[in-house]
Chain A
Amino acid sequence: MALSRLMFILALCAPTLVTADPLSDMAGTWQGSGWAKQTQQGPQETVRCRINNSHDGATRTLSLSGRCVVPGRQLEISGSLTGTQGTERITGRWSNPDGIGSVRVVGIQRAGIVAFNFAATDPATGRDMAQNVEWRVSEGTLQLRSTDRKDPTLMMSDISFGR
């Protein structure tokens, strides 16, 4: 477990060919596909997403909205992440009205990576869920990965985006 946490942190620190302002690099329209799981031991489900991000340089805020679909269900998603001047800290909200609702998120941004975590209760299962979320942006690609906070080796989603 400790090893996996370390790997997660290392991943955040890894140098990449990207700018130091990942929030602004995430702006634009993205189409993604991959998979996600509803529970730790649940099955992988095919996911496709289309999101539209806009970045406000003055407030250092990335606003995100879009839709993800799994077979038989559409999920509207939205959120905003705001950087703090002089630090790597970001704060914001993540909203999924059909799922976890609106939750507060806190994280960091660093060369090509935006990472945050959240905790919420899944209304469908009543289970507490807590995940680490990582966005990696580079060269016209965007990667979303999330892991379980209790067991970061447990991948909960993996979605690759392109423009």
Chain B
Amino acid sequence: MFGGIGFGAERLGLAALRFPRTAWIGAIVLLALIAVSLPRLSFDNDIHRAFLSDSPLSQAQRAYDASQSPPLGTVLIHITSPVALTAAQMARLRDLSLDLEFVGGVTAVASPFVLRTPPTPDAPSGTPLFGPQIDANFNAALMSFDALNTGLPIFVNETLTAMLFSVSVDTNQSTVAEIVPTISAALNQGLPAGLSAHITGEDVISSEIVTGLKDDLIALNLWGALIVMLAAAALLRDLTVAFLAVGPALVGAAAVLALSVWLGYPITVLSNVIPILLLVLGVADGVHLANGLKDSGNVHAAIQTVGPACALTALTTAVAFASITLTGNSQLFEFAILGAVGTMLSFAIVIVLFALLGRTLRLSDRPLPPISAAIAQRLTALGAARPRVTIAGCILLLIVATIGFSQTRAWFPLYQNLPDNSPTLATNDAISADFGGVFQMIVESDGDWETTRALARALEAASGPRTVLSDLNLARWLGRPDVRPSPADMAMLPKAIVDQLRAENGTSRLFVSVPEPMRNKDTLAQFDRVYDAALTAGADRIIGLPTIMRHEAVDLIGQLSLGLLVATLGATAMAAAAFRSVAIVPVLIIPNVLPLMLTGASLHLWAEGQLTPTAVLALTIAFGIAIDDTVHFLSRFRAAQLRGATARQAVSAASLAAGQVMVLTTLLLTCGLCVTLFSDFSPIRVFGGMMIVTLWAALLIDLLLLPALLTWKGAAHGTV
């Protein structure tokens, strides 16, 4: 049976002290492995794969993706002019649309220039609206086509100031990210003077977000680590202590990135927060350990004293991550495994490197800044002096914060993940206004022609004219709206479009252009209206990125919230087991849940009350930070009690030993996290802001409420 609250995990550090040569060799080999692995780190460029689960919707989406042969991506080009397009500009744009067909990987370019009048004997494929010569009254041709009431998009807005090209890309030949620069070059070369063009589309947005986030995260992590190092040197007033506190934590965070390589898990928009969390916890543990070393002057004693609490915080965090697997959500499985294994790996690295460096490095005698001890002592004394008032106030605050948090709304705004300076958002809004939207809802029907017709009509009524693409458009164009187009009829369309409209098994597909569902309340209402219309009209499946964002991402937020609840309970149970005390459960729950609820409720102040996946992940980390502080405080409290101190004396001792380090780590991590506030990405700013709010809420509540709970009614609650 392992003894102590760390379940003996701290013995890893003690073993490193006992076998330093072996430990050094192991550490160097591990460092080399990490260094070799980091260049092979991969990021998942498919942003919506992160939101797919085992649900019927996700399964239908996967089946659709798998049925695409070749798999197609879409690039939208939005061309705008300050005044109505002229015939000469139209001719240049026609040539541009044709030139784009020669870009490697492009299978089709849909534009106004593909529009044709219905077929005749002399023109069996129809007559192009725009022949080799485009005359000044070209708008009349467009109007006459529109008058056919086919429902087909005409790709030009009513004022003739905007045009849309939809470029289909065979992603087996070229990814969308690869092809965008080529398309941009073609636009630069072929776009008539006075016009401007912006590229967007589901895949383009996904690529822009992932690329931007990747660059931003790398920069922020590097700057954050540097600032934490500098802040540690300034706050701890000892470069060696600063190095001991931050160095092992940085290696631990890097090891988690390497772990993702070893496990074959690409870093996703969800899992990229794990290294940051472990850096935060590692630095906190490093400061506690370094302070313990400073106090005792002996690395062995420091590990024996502080190590168990560090081990317990790692174990509770690992359990919190592992608990997420209980939600049964497949997309969270890799996240949970990487988090759980990574936490223990990071802890092992931190404790071993601390042991090895601690026995080598000499620390100065300079004490920690007295201000941190003064703050900790003042708050602790305040809480212990009026425990009943403090507890009642905190419970009241918990109720209010919980109500506030419960009023947040699960929300997935993809647009917020675009960089602030990205023109894509304005382009998407303009496309939504003129052409329905950038995103494609895909409605599948296994029924007969009548069902397809009913679906098309219902979707057109709900979504608006020229926003639905289906067999019915072609049937109307052929002048036979009551007859399903034959394969020969369909052959008049590009094969890529035919394959999209008709699956091999006979399923009909209807494509609806919609705005981003959670762009705002109006777009959400519009999406739900179209979605409900499809269901009512007999759709068998409704898929596509907007549907995934509307339903799967929101479900994911629910799953993450459930995971957070399970993690809270699991980590609390773990800590209670470590302290072998059931009575400690309320002491753990209230101070740890309150910062979480406060941070969640604060979303009303700065994020319009939107509970995004990023926000839930920040809350999960918030709980990790909160319980970390609590465990260190309780560990010192119990150690003092074991030495015979009363509850009040033990609280004071814990405040002196752990409290001042908690203040220091909070200051330190706040400095490091401040860099996130300068990010180009709103979610990263929200994430960093939530972390900072949590750090301070956890600190204040731990230093105020814990002493109150531990001294209230003396021994009844004051023993852990």
Place the interface of chain A in its size category.
Answer: 20 to 34
Hey, what's the 0/1 contact readout for B100-141 against A, CB within 8 Å counting as 1? 011000011011011010000011110110111000000000
With A35-B132, A39-B124, A124-B125 given, is the CB distance from A71 to B95 under 8 Å?
no
Smallest beta-carbon distance A55→chain B, Å:
23
B491 in contact (CB, < 8 A): yes
Hey, what's the 0/1 contact readout for A66-81 against B, CB within 8 Å counting as 1? 0101111110000000
A59 in contact (CB, < 8 A): no
With A44-B132, A69-B101, A69-B102 given, is the CB distance from A74 to B108 under 8 Å?
yes
Chain A, Cβ-Cβ closest to B492: A124
Partner pick for A48 among B98, B122, B491, CB 8 A cutoff: B98
B99 in contact (CB, < 8 A): yes
Hey, what's the 0/1 contact readout for B235-260 against A, CB within 8 Å counting as 1? 00000000000000000000000000
B97 in contact (CB, < 8 A): yes
Contact A38 B123 (CB under 8 A): yes
With A67-B102, A69-B98, A69-B101 given, is the CB distance from A42 to B123 under 8 Å?
yes
Partner pick for A39 among B99, B123, B128, CB 8 A cutoff: B123
A45 in contact (CB, < 8 A): yes
Point out the residues of chain A lying under 8 angstroms from B110, CB to CB.
72
Point out the residues of chain B lying under 8 angstroms from A124, CB to CB.
124-125, 491-492
Point out the residues of chain A lying under 8 angstroms from B124, CB to CB.
38-39, 42, 124-125
Hey, what's the 0/1 contact readout for A28-62 against B, CB within 8 Å counting as 1? 00000111001111111110101000000000000
Contact B107 A48 (CB under 8 A): no
Number of residues on chain B facing chain A (CB within 8 A): 27
B494 in contact (CB, < 8 A): yes
Point out the residues of chain A lying under 8 angstroms from B509, CB to CB.
none
B94 in contact (CB, < 8 A): yes
Contact B107 A46 (CB under 8 A): no
Point out the residues of chain B lying under 8 angstroms from A50, CB to CB.
102
Contact B111 A71 (CB under 8 A): yes
Point out the residues of chain B lying under 8 angstroms from A70, CB to CB.
98, 128
A116 vs B122: C-alpha distance when bound (angstroms) = 25
Partner pick for B122 among A34, A42, A72, A74, CB 8 A cutoff: A42
Hey, what's the 0/1 contact readout for A88-125 against B, CB within 8 Å counting as 1? 00000000000000000000000000000000000011
Contact A71 B123 (CB under 8 A): no
A33 vs B92: C-alpha distance when bound (angstroms) = 13
Contact B130 A71 (CB under 8 A): yes
Chain A, Cβ-Cβ closest to B134: A46
A48 vs B97: C-alpha distance when bound (angstroms) = 10
Contact B128 A38 (CB under 8 A): no
Point out the residues of chain B lying under 8 angstroms from A71, CB to CB.
94, 97-98, 111, 113-114, 128, 130
Point out the residues of chain A lying under 8 angstroms from B114, CB to CB.
71-72
Chain A, Cβ-Cβ closest to B97: A71
A38 vs B122: C-alpha distance when bound (angstroms) = 8
List which B68-101 residues lie within 8 A (CB) of chain A. Answer: 94-95, 97-99, 101
Given contacts A72-B116, A74-B107, A74-B108, 17 further A-B contacts (CB under 8 A): A35-B131, A40-B122, A41-B122, A42-B124, A43-B123, A43-B128, A45-B128, A45-B132, A46-B94, A46-B128, A67-B102, A70-B98, A71-B97, A71-B98, A72-B113, A74-B494, A124-B125
The 9 closest A-B pairs by CB, nearest first: A72-B114, A41-B122, A69-B101, A71-B113, A43-B127, A48-B98, A35-B132, A125-B124, A71-B114
Binding site for A on B (CB under 8 A): 94-95, 97-99, 101-102, 107-108, 110-111, 113-114, 116, 122-125, 127-128, 130-132, 491-494
